[in-house]
Structure 1
């Protein structure tokens, strides 16, 4: 079981966590409208070529229009899904009721023991997970320090039956990007990059996938090869995930990651306490202290 000192902490309380994702889309107006109407995000900022969306003033997702972007093939490295973490089961049920009433096609739903998750995609095929965490006191940690996870059936009917069927006001304050799940071309490389270079802990494994986190969270980043085994790095100018941001708690953690990136000979651009780079699979990554 989890230590009492961790019991009330969320994904964003951990030393390293995801705080933003950036998608390149072909139709900004349509996709932005979908994230507002269906996912329940709010428009925070607009520019000539993009929209920034979030919850309660917290930016979570930037959409940049790139009309000539090449659609991401199913087997290319990039986004598997962006996972939006809602505050509790009641919030998940409320979103499900809204999705049902809006006629949104769902791609699946799973009980992962540590969480309950619903899967879908935006109009341009970018994967999305909407999930809630179970209390940490209900998680089971194994002797090797990893957390016990599984993929079991989630009873959507029971969840829907619990929902408040009144008017839905969008995603509740406290909603965040709990994790991001990537497609990569090899798991040993992913283990080396996220664990040995960026300093995340390997928290769970599954055939063809690894799950990484800090603070003993179940995962802040996942990487799989289910569609993308041995794929070439993602080329520039492809639609989908342009980059995502990992927030690190201190300049020291950022310096440790920079040292690992230097050993891999991965070039970085540093502005103050923020670093931009392209990972071994061609995916953009920002590290921010």
Structure 2
């Protein structure tokens, strides 16, 4: 029997490697709608609620800005807003800033896609009510790629004022290019204990805890066998897996160490690398 990660597990903050801190702070405040929470010489914490960070920007020396799909690493991280009206305000702000976006109605959610100045992919999305999500005969969620009703988003946000992303905004999921989907499934499903919620042939896999449509997406769209992006490239530094209590965290740590993975303790939590050199921070959810 495969292990089961605690159903209350979710995604916490993401840390990004970027080339120019000032440029990225401007982008994430003006275009995305986050607020600056804390600023250091080469590091900034960005927040939605003014209390806890959602995105950390870490400027690195001579960062390489790579074309999209250059290797195993970040495809996008996904910022989940509380409701459809909030997503409508996001649309209005993107239009105001003349930002080109991709978009997709995924049946379970409505999503907008763009990239930051370092080609880090970003999704901004709102979920539909969970009781409307449908499963197919295999038990997987039905997720489409229809056009988003942009006019409807504009209508539902009419007469509302943009003040940035609202409190209640979280990181809903992360999505990665990987070198091999079977290796990704072995690590995230058979070792960490996530459940498969959708599979698209041999090229993409969606997984979650607790019945969410997906907390992590995994794909080989950068090519089967694609190497990890270089350490000095802009991209994902780490993402956070938040477990509900110490027991749940200890269970994951035990499985990792028994399988030969090395964990390091640093300020902020326990860190491990997945098979594709993507950093993961493990932490217990705060009560705050």
Using structure 1 for the length normalisation, give the TM-score.
Answer: 0.90
Per-residue deviation at 1:257?
Answer: 1.8
Is the aligned partner of 1:214 residue 2:220?
Answer: no
Show structure 2 runs of 5+ residues with no match: 1-5
**Aligned partners of 1:66 and 1:272: how far apart in 2?**
19
Match of 1:43 among 36, 45, 65: 36
Select which of 166, 173, 177 maps to 1:179. Answer: 173
Q: Find the counterpart in structure 2 of residue 170 from structure 1.
A: 164
User: Which residue in 2 is equivalent to 1:134?
Assistant: 128
Q: Does 1:24 align with 2:43?
A: no
TM-aligned CA deviation for residue 165 of structure 1: 5.1
Quick one: distance in 2 between partners of 1:273 and 1:79? 21
1 CA distance for matches of 2:97 and 2:189?
A: 40
| Structure 1 position 66 matched with structure 2 position 66 | no
Tell me, yes or no, if the aligned pair for 1:244 and 1:285 is still in contact at 8 Å: yes
Aligned equivalents of 2:96, 2:62: Cα separation in 1: 34
The alpha-carbon deviation at position 262 of structure 1 amounts to 2.4
| Partner SS, residue 141 of structure 1 | coil
- The separation in 2 between residues aligned to 1:98 and 1:243, in whole angstroms, is 28
Which shifted more, 267-276 or 206-215? 267-276
What CA RMSD, in Å, does the superposition of the two structures yield over aligned residues? 1.9
Of 179, 182, 185, which aligns to 1:188? Answer: 182
Whether the 8 Å contact between 2:197 and 2:207 is mirrored in structure 1 is yes
Against the structure 1 CA distance between its residues 256 and 72, is the aligned structure 2 distance closer, same or farther, given a 3 Å change threshold?
farther
Q: What's the counterpart of residue 95 of structure 2?
A: 100
Query: Are the equivalent residues in 2 in contact too, given 1:196–1:260 (CA < 8 A)?
Result: no
Which residue is equivalent to 2:281? 286
Gaps of 5+ in 1: 1-12
**1:53 aligned partner:** 46
- Residues 70-89 of structure 1 aligned to structure 2 (within 5 Å): 70-73=64-67, 74-89=69-84
